[in-house]
């Protein structure tokens, strides 16, 4: 444990990146657990209770962290208040607790981190790595899936409502996904300059997540396949901001019989936490871990212990999607 005076001294100077790093190191030290250096996380958006797909992501990231003798941190991605019903964040904490998925340290709330996102944005602005964009929705729609960069060189000032985009370059981002294998993406030609602060002044997910992964010292991110196409943008921002590069693994997302991702938008029911052993058993099987049937009636703790002991990330299906009603 560090003496409190050291923590206060570093926290009083949050604009200094070196100090910010030592705050992160201190935050980890205060968790007080010895670990391998692996730090994973689960980062739900509190738009409602966890459904099966999000529990699956929680279990996968928890298993990989614990099987590697690592820490498993929790972050609430509560940056979009209109989409967040009151009490949803607490409900998620309760669901995780009931499943026996205990996180290490304190929960980090993105809503309390706006200053830190503003600092990262300012750094990019000071280095002239971003610009204002006031293109309308229909203009952007007409460009197709790649932003054409037209506001980079604009001669008239942007209107008072503008997004901030980061300049991208032609260099391809390459990474080795722990589950899905090698990936390569040329952001400039395949995505274009992307938004890091939205027109409504909310910080974009891509910026916030990268700032927080660095702050929490995250080394490994295991999450759903739907976020695979965000990964090159996140690695690109990590490089621009001189942060550590995270290792990623993307599990298949769960879809319903119609082929839609099960989510709040497709009216997926909350995960059946009352039957937590059955739910954990189902998750392990979806993740290719072949949990013995005899464990169906075991306590959640026994299932988690079995899962950690037998965890094999190579057995996770190398698929984009998996049907919830797939036969097991
Ligand atoms: Zn524009």
Rounded to two decimals, what is the model's pTM? Answer: 0.88
Average confidence (pLDDT) per 10 residues, the chain, 328 residues: 34 38 47 86 95 95 98 96 91 96 97 97 96 92 92 77 94 96 95 96 97 98 96 98 97 88 72 88 95 92 96 97 75
Which residues are CB-contacts of 137 (< 8 A; sequence separation ≥ 6)? none
- Measured in angstroms, how far is the CA atom of residue 151 from the centroid of ligand 1? 4
- Measured in angstroms, how far is the CA atom of residue 149 from the centroid of ligand 1? 7
Q: How far apart are CA 192 and CA 181, in angstroms?
A: 24
Q: How far apart are CA 196 and CA 290, in angstroms?
A: 41
- The pLDDT, as a whole number, for residue 9 is 32
- Measured in angstroms, how far is the CA atom of residue 194 from the centroid of ligand 1? 10
- The pLDDT, as a whole number, for residue 23 is 42
- Measured in angstroms, how far is the CA atom of residue 235 from the centroid of ligand 1? 23
- Measured in angstroms, how far is the CA atom of residue 184 from the centroid of ligand 1? 26
Which domains can be identified in the chain, with CATH numbers?
A: 1-32 (no CATH), 35-114+208-323 (3.40.50.620)
- Measured in angstroms, how far is the CA atom of residue 150 from the centroid of ligand 1? 6
CA nearest to 10, candidates 23, 25, 28, 27: 23
Which residues are CB-contacts of 173 (< 8 A; sequence separation ≥ 6)? 184, 185, 186, 187, 232, 235, 236
CA nearest to 295, candidates 312, 310, 308, 280: 280
């Amino acid at each position: 444990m560090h003496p409190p005076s050291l923590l206060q001294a570093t926290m009083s100077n949050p604009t200094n990146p070196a100090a910010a790093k030592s705050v992160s190191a201190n935050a980890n030290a205060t968790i007080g657990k010895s670990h391998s250096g692996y730090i994973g996380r689960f980062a739900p958006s509190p738009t409602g209770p966890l459904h099966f797909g999000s529990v699956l992501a929680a279990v996968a990231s928890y298993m990989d962290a614990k099987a590697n003798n690592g820490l498993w941190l929790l972050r609430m991605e509560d940056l979009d208040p209109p989409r967040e019903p009151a009490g949803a964040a607490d409900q998620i904490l309760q669901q995780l607790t009931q499943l026996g998925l205990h996180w290490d340290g304190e929960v980090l709330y993105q809503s309390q981190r706006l200053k830190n996102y503003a600092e990262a944005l300012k750094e990019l602005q000071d280095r002239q790595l971003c610009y204002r964009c006031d293109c309308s929705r229909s203009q952007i729609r007409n460009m197709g899936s790649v932003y054409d960069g037209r506001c980079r060189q604009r001669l008239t000032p942007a209107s008072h409502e503008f997004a901030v985009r980061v300049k991208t370059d032609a260099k391809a981002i390459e990474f080795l996904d722990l589950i899905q294998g090698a990936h390569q993406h040329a952001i400039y030609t395949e995505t274009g300059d992307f938004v890091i602060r939205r027109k409504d002044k909310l910080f974009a997910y891509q910026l916030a997540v990268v700032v927080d992964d660095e702050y929490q010292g995250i080394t490994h991110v295991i999450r759903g396949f739907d976020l695979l196409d965000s990964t090159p943008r996140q690695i690109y921002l990590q490089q621009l901001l001189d942060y550590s590069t995270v290792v990623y693994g993307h599990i298949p997302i769960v879809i319903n019989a119609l082929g839609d991702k099960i989510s709040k938008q497709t009216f997926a029911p909350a995960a059946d936490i009352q039957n937590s052993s059955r739910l954990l058993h189902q998750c392990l099987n979806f993740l290719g871990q072949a949990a013995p049937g005899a464990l169906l009636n075991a306590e959640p703790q026994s299932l988690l212990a079995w899962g950690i002991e037998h965890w094999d990330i190579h057995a996770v299906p190398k698929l984009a999607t998996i049907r919830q009603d797939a036969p097991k």
